[in-house]
Amino acid sequence: MSEIKSNIPIYSETKIICEDSIRTALPIRKKDTHKYDYGRILIVAGSEGMVGAAAFAAKAALRTGAGLVQVCIDKNLWPIITNLIPEVVLIDRDEIIKRNLTIYDAIVIGPGLGLEKSEKMLFYIKHIIDNYNGPLILDADALNLVSSSNIDLLNYHNNIIVTPHMGEARRLIERTDVQFSTLSRKDIAMKISSYYGVDVILKGHETLVYLRNGDRYINPTGNPGMATAGAGDVLSGMLAALLGQGLSNEDAVIAAVYLHGLAGDIAATKFGEFSLIASDIIDAIPEAIMSIMYIL
């Protein structure tokens, strides 16, 4: 595929995400409300041997305030999910093509999706992209599948957010005419954003956020202990929850990245960076949010 794309944004100077901007973005709950006021989230994730990824994303979404979370996963895996997180609603994977996707306030595709049934998984991904114009988060195996397919995200709606780590970023860059090894992290984030026409969260030390409107940010929170299985799934769930509560893509992305890192920092004070696991990050989400909203 050609590297040249139209409508390439002019990127602004990189801004450091600050606590004050997160505080003003987080919604204050009214007394007379119900669960649908806080977002109906769909998470298409998990597969045999990787059910935990779906559970991490779902539980993180609930801890970040989502009103209702539905997990779309093969029916034979339902008992595991129910045991891990009974608060979610379950949907069989094959039912997704029959669903009215417009009822969802945000959709996540990818955590633990698996690559063994790649043709079928690509069918699901393309169906969702074709039939859903709301905030759509592509993570993990969804990114790996897209990077190895002929799906051109630039031809779709402008509400797609991708959350690659460096390995997934490499595979996305391989679809362009640029050598990955010649690029800095900033170049990689900018190239993915402009080439695919998406908002980008490039995970890692000092996570980068590059938005399609040209704004870019660097995140000051987080620590090396977060280099652990499932941490990225937690971020996707947190992001979906904030989008589902009505935050703009920009506000939701920077808030999710900052709070995710902050939860990791809080967890590290309790367990240390060596022993930190994804569940610890989820458990620290409430304290992270309260420390921002109520200045504990």
Domains and CATH numbers, the chain: 15-25+36-293 (3.40.1190.20)
Whole-angstrom Cα distance, residue 195 to residue 193?
A: 6
Question: Which amino acid appears at position 270 of this protein?
Answer: K
pLDDT at 157: 74
Beta bridge partners of 70: 42, 89
pLDDT at 1: 35
Token pair, residue 96, equals 């997704």
Written as one string, the DSSP assignment of 48-90 is: TT-HHHHHHHHHHHHHTT-SEEEEEE-GGGHHHHHHH-TTSEE
Q: Which residues of the chain have pLDDT under 70?
A: 1-9, 295-296
pLDDT per position as a tens digit, 151-191: 888 877 779 999 999 999 999 998 887 888 889 999 999 99
Written as one string, the DSSP assignment of 112-155 is: T--STTHHHHHHHHHHHHHH--S-EEE-THHHHHHHTS---GGG
Token pair, residue 189, equals 């984030």
pLDDT at 296: 53
Question: Beta 106-109 vs 89-92: how paired, if at all?
Answer: unpaired
pLDDT at 8: 56
pTM for the structure as a whole: 0.94
pLDDT at 79: 98
Q: Strand ranges (DSSP E) for the chain?
A: 15-16, 40-44, 68-73, 89-92, 106-109, 136-138, 160-162, 199-202, 208-210, 216-218
- C-alpha dihedral, 174 to 51 to 121 to 131, nearest 10°: -100
Whole-angstrom Cα distance, residue 294 to residue 286?
A: 11
Whole-angstrom Cα distance, residue 288 to residue 259?
A: 6
- C-alpha dihedral, 43 to 247 to 204 to 177, nearest 10°: 80
